[in-house]
Amino acid sequence: MTQQLKIVSESSAMLNRILEPEVMDTREEASDYDSMNHEAVNRRFVEDFLAFCFSTPLKGRLIDSTTPLTVLDVGTGTAQIPIELCRRPVTCRVHAIDLANEMLKLAEINVARAGLAASIQLELVDAKKMTYADRSFDAVISNSIVHHIPEPRAVFSEMSRVLAMGGVMFVRDLLRPNTDAEVDRLVATYAGQENAHSQQMFRDSLHAALTLAEVRELAQEINIPESAIAQTTDRHWTLAWLFL
């Protein structure tokens, strides 16, 4: 009985999910997001994605210059991850989608500055109802978009629908902390040098994020095994899945 009461107490102390706007579509939001130092996080995302792909049959496609891997980046923001990916010695073509015009305006500038317009196609698309045909992409990736979606079930379903058999889904997002004290620690650690607006955006995102249990429940609804999802940093979960 004592143990049961303790579990209930800990559960009730967990932070509730507080939604933030689904679309960050003001000039200030896009500019502040783009100016934040995401370099290490983006590099780690791309390295982990490629390491997972190289453990699958997609390895041959990545190093075969005649058959580029088709990649869909869901919620690309200002295209920092597609740029990081296309700078690597791999063969791929990225469709980078977002629902925020202001983000895509900066993405276009970033892609052009990087000289990667031939490799990255930017598109204004709602991730909850994509127009792509079933099984269109060899890989579907997404970094930090799930927490923006009030009901993420549709996004998971759409990402699964457009993924080709034998393809890879690689999704990473923030993990909702258990306490406000942990939110404060994460903001101070990872956004302490940013301006007040950027810090508040990060704080809001942590409150809007899902728990590991919530992510696993959503994934299981589209037949992605629980083993494909894990906590990978003190503030992130990752879904890495080979669709067979």
CATH of 25-177+211-242, one of 3.40.50.10420, 2.40.128.30, 3.30.750.24, 3.40.50.150: 3.40.50.150
**Per-residue model confidence (pLDDT) at position 65:** 76
Residue 176 and residue 206 in contact, taking contact as beta carbons nearer than 8 Å:
yes
Look up residue 177 and give its DSSP letter: -
Sheet containing 69-74: order of strands = 120-124, 92-98, 69-74, 137-143, 163-174, 236-242, 229-231
Distances (CA, A) of 79 to 8, 139, 141: 42, 16, 12
Who's near 76: CB < 8 A, 6+ residues apart? Answer: 82, 96, 97, 98, 103, 104, 107, 122
**Per-residue model confidence (pLDDT) at position 50:** 97
Closest CA to 136 of 110, 79, 97: 97
Look up residue 131 and give its DSSP letter: -
pLDDT tens track of the chain, all 244 residues?
A: 323 333 233 344 589 999 987 776 667 776 766 666 678 999 999 999 999 999 999 998 888 878 899 999 999 999 999 999 999 999 999 999 999 999 999 999 999 999 999 999 999 999 999 999 999 999 999 999 999 999 999 999 999 999 999 999 999 999 999 999 999 999 999 999 998 988 998 999 999 999 999 999 999 999 999 999 999 999 999 999 999 9
What are the counts of helices (DSSP H) followed by strands (DSSP E) for the chain? 10, 7
- Domain definitions of the chain by residue range: 25-177+211-242
Backbone torsions φ then ψ of 83, nearest 5 degrees:
-65, -45
- Between CA 92 and CA 62 the distance in angstroms is 7
**Per-residue model confidence (pLDDT) at position 11:** 40
**Per-residue model confidence (pLDDT) at position 5:** 30
Who's near 13: CB < 8 A, 6+ residues apart? Answer: 178, 179
- Between CA 42 and CA 58 the distance in angstroms is 21
- Between CA 57 and CA 127 the distance in angstroms is 27
